[in-house]
Amino acid sequence: MSEPTSFASLGPLLLARKGGAKPALRGANGEDVADDLAQDNEIGADGESIEAQLAAFQDDEALRAEPEVKRQQQALLTRIADANISAADHPGTSDAAQAQAAGRRAAFTLRLDQERHLKLKLASAVLGASAQQLVTRALDQMMAEMPEIEALAAQVTRDGRKA
């Protein structure tokens, strides 16, 4: 078997003694510390004042231009406001749907392909309504176009069976 290799250890030469630690590249007594700090500070090193540098920075055209994100946010707010106005013009639920919603509710699982799911989420975000509200509104609209379904539902509840 091979012998284990020794690991480097921190001996007394590598460890700083208490009170004897020195900053890197500086003398033991801290001489010229102020000079070192002044050399690190490059502001005004070439004689230019801080005010002149600040004025040049504030005159930069890029700082005055509106960021792309702000323009996109404004466009989204406009689209959402337009969608809310058009949604207010077309009331979504009928009296029968509101009466149904006030009563007992039933749950079911709706399985969608990825494209329809994405479109439903986007429509929900743009219109400011939940996906459930959008699906309920679409179902109410479809049922309004099919009066025979209303008659069948009335027969089922009249026979004593609950829908």
Q: Which two tokens stand for residue 76?
A: 């989204």
Task: Read off the pLDDT band of 23 (50, 70, 90).
Answer: low
Across 64-68, 72-76, 133-137, 154-158, which has the greatest mean pLDDT? 133-137
Residue 46's pLDDT is: 57
In this structure, how many other beta carbons lie within 10 angstroms of the beta carbon of residue 84?
14
- Do 156 and 163 contact (CB within 8 A), yes or no? yes
- What CA–CA distance (Å, rounded) separates 130 from 89? 18
Contacts with 90 (C-beta within 8 Å, 6 or more apart), sequence order: none
Q: Which H or E run contains 99?
A: helix 95-102
Residue 100's pLDDT is: 58
- Per-residue pLDDT tens over the stretch 67-109: 788 888 888 888 888 777 766 665 555 555 555 556 677 888 8
